[in-house]
Amino acid sequence: MPQKHPDSAQIIQDNRDYTLFSWSAQAALSPIHMTGGQGSHFFDGNGDRWLDFSSQLININVGHQHPKVMQAIKDQVDQMCFAGPSFATDVRAKLGKKLAEVTGLAKSFFTLGGSEANENAMKMACLYTGRDKIMTRYRSYHGATMGSMTASGDPRRWPVEPGIPGIVRVFDPYMYRPPMGGSAEAWADGCITHIEEVIQMEGPHTIAAMLVEGITGSNGILIPPDDYYPRLRALLDKYGILLIDDEVMSGFGRTGKWLATQHYGIKPDIVTCAKGLTSGYMPLGAVIVSDKIAQYFEDHFLAGGLTYSGHPVSLAAAIANLQVYEDENLFEHTLEMGAHLGQRLEAMKKKYACVGDVRYIGLFSVLELVKDKQTKEPLAPFNGTSPEMNKFAAHVKSKHVYAYTRFNWAFVCPPLVVTREELDHGLDVYEEGLALVDEMIGKSTVAAD
């Protein structure tokens, strides 16, 4: 249970004085001193409980401090802490077999996170096809290593450009904001045609793979039309281009299935994963490849490796974590809670003038906030913020609900163990914040009904 830590202020100051935090101008930081957690909540140094409405970085899927995952880590430490990447271990065999079972693919290459997984997936695709280019989407994030960062469309890539060569970007299935001002209906049909035209202009023989997030995550939870993935799969097959499915954020139960693309009835050639693979308890990522790619590397050199590939403690955490998903029926629970979440979000869209759109699948959701529903003017600019967004975020934080807000988006991505009561409490706090935003933009909640 949470307890006040007598040295909390000093711990925060030492963190600021001696460590660097990611994606931040350091002087603007005011980090929370996190001391522990349980289920859907974490605790701070003041003895307060926070409802974790973003699952940390959308990865604490089984909740904080799950005893079965913690015990698996302890047991593995007692047995063997480390084995080099060229050794066979029981946990390596067991997790590889399980991942083949749940994805329908063949073999796994283990990394320490999603960035490394995407980096190696792109490398494998180029080695297998003999081609040099990777297609990605503009509203995407694939990691912070040089290759995965270049592959991202996210503006976080700008400071490190030009990055690696060979990345080709296309527009996304962003149905609320179709590119070039077209209609959602026209874009639902045209988004695949657009990709084919880019393929033809780039030269199909030069493109190794298309790298996509199963469901776009930190760039707005973009839910594609139902036929998007079947049409994309057929298009890429037409030109002999591999499909790499980045399930780092959307995979392992977040949408109610092992992989988000399983909702659409397609099988990728390569799947990358991390986050929900261990629910963040230990660092681990994986590149899971189809049988034809696995067979290629039987007699072709796999030019890739990591000191900590196949780290036994991380693999043990993953095995236990995947077992928790099944033993506790968390995918079914996610779909049940997701249906309730969807109803609440749709009601907010009707009630509040500032809610332009809501998008959700399982417990993976976002509210897109606007200044005007007719014009769809964002409440904050792309890659920026605004007083209204700051007001919303500050209110939610003041109620000890830990939320992820970015640009004009407010995400709702709690742990998969969240209860209906916890979910409703967090959403009630969001509604209070939305009412404050409506006041700021001078539009009443009633008028939006």
Give the residue ranges of DSSP H helices in 104-256. Answer: 114-129, 146-151, 184-202, 228-238
Supply the pLDDT for residue 449: 45
Q: Are 275 and 58 in contact (CB under 8 A)?
A: yes
Tens digits of residue pLDDT in 90-127 = 999 999 999 999 999 999 999 999 999 999 999 999 99
pLDDT in the model for residue 448: 44
Give this prediction's pTM.
0.96
**93: which 2 tokens?**
């065999």
| Angle subtended by helix axes 420-440 and 330-351, to nearest 10 | 20
Whether the Cβ atoms of residue 413 and residue 280 lie closer than 8 Å to each other: no
Phi-psi region of 376 (alpha: psi -120 to 50; beta: other; left: phi over 0): left
C-alpha–C-alpha distance, residues 153 and 211, integer Å? 11
Tally of CB atoms within 10 A around 12: 17
Pairing relation of β-strands 355-361 and 405-406? unpaired
Q: Where are any strands of DSSP class E within 175-289?
A: 207-213, 242-246, 270-273, 285-289
Q: Return d(Cα 168, Cα 178) in angstroms, integer.
A: 19
Side-chain-facing half-sphere of 433: CA atoms under 13 Å: 28
What tens digit of pLDDT does each residue of 214-224 get? 999 999 999 99
Largest separation between any pair of C-alpha atoms in the chain: 67
- Please report the pLDDT score of residue 180 as a whole number: 85
Query: Would you give per-residue pLDDT tens digits along the chain (449 residues)?
Result: 788 898 999 999 999 999 999 999 999 999 999 999 999 999 999 999 999 999 999 999 999 999 999 999 999 999 999 999 999 999 999 999 999 999 999 999 999 999 999 999 999 999 999 999 999 999 999 999 999 999 999 999 999 999 999 999 999 999 999 998 889 999 999 999 999 999 999 999 999 999 999 999 999 999 999 999 999 999 999 999 999 999 999 999 999 999 999 999 999 999 999 999 999 999 999 999 999 999 999 999 999 999 999 999 999 999 999 999 999 999 999 999 999 999 999 999 999 999 999 999 999 999 999 999 999 999 999 999 999 999 999 999 999 999 999 999 999 999 999 999 999 999 999 999 999 999 999 977 764 44
